[in-house]
Amino acid sequence: MTTIHRAGHRILIGFWAATFVVAYFCLLAGLVLAAVGLLMLWFFRIPPRPIYANPSEVTAVSDGKVVLIEEVFEDEHFGARVQKVSVFLSIFNVHAQWSPVAGRLAAFKYHPGKYLVAWHPKSSTLNERSTFVVDVPPSKDSAGGTVLFRQVAGAVARRLRWYVQPGDQLTQGQEVGFILFGSRIDFYLPLDASIQVEVGQKVVARSTVIARLA
């Protein structure tokens, strides 16, 4: 069953209350605002999302499209070269985020920043963003490791939400955050992880496998 995300409750109540007041005085303006309100309802929707859980696999944090796969030097946490996978979220994608792995949230940090368009190469390091670092324990199929993922605000998205704290034990597919409007998610994965997606591919939160840990 599709629901409305809690991040939108206050916004939607305020918007629709204003819409009814405007419509009382000017029906045409009220209809225009109502159309915008329907789009906002669509944006904050949370459709059913089945959980595909496997301790050795990294699943998509959000719906979207893979726009970048490359090897980079990550200096905030790893201090080493890692594999980066970027997923762009348009305003039509579901904007909730779910943990891609099960493990302990070893670190979390919010960074205020700029609002470059989300596909800009420097948005990962200059834009408003939040970094999640999860330590994944070993399993029968994997030695475990560390997975870092990042909420990155775009030119329109200027609000990040997160619902976890350092030290929390996360389950795979657990809700961890929400981004308002267009944005991106960046994954930083060990060099020995096997990437399972390609540029241009659309991914679905909690089910598309982004990578397999060695």
| pLDDT tens string 19-35 | 999 999 999 999 999 99
Please tell me the predicted confidence (pLDDT) of residue 156.
62
For domain 57-212, give the fold.
Answer: Glucose Permease (Domain IIA) (2.70.70)
Of 96-110, 115-129, 158-172, the one with minimum mean pLDDT is 115-129
Q: From residue 185, how far is each of 21, 45, 108, 123, 178 by CA, in Å?
A: 38, 19, 15, 11, 11
Q: Which amino acid is at 87?
A: V
Measure Cα distances from 153 to 94, 143, 179, 195 in Å. 15, 32, 7, 24
Enumerate the domain spans of the chain: 3-46, 57-212
127 pLDDT band, cuts 50/70/90, is confident
Q: Which residues have a catalytic role annotated?
A: 183
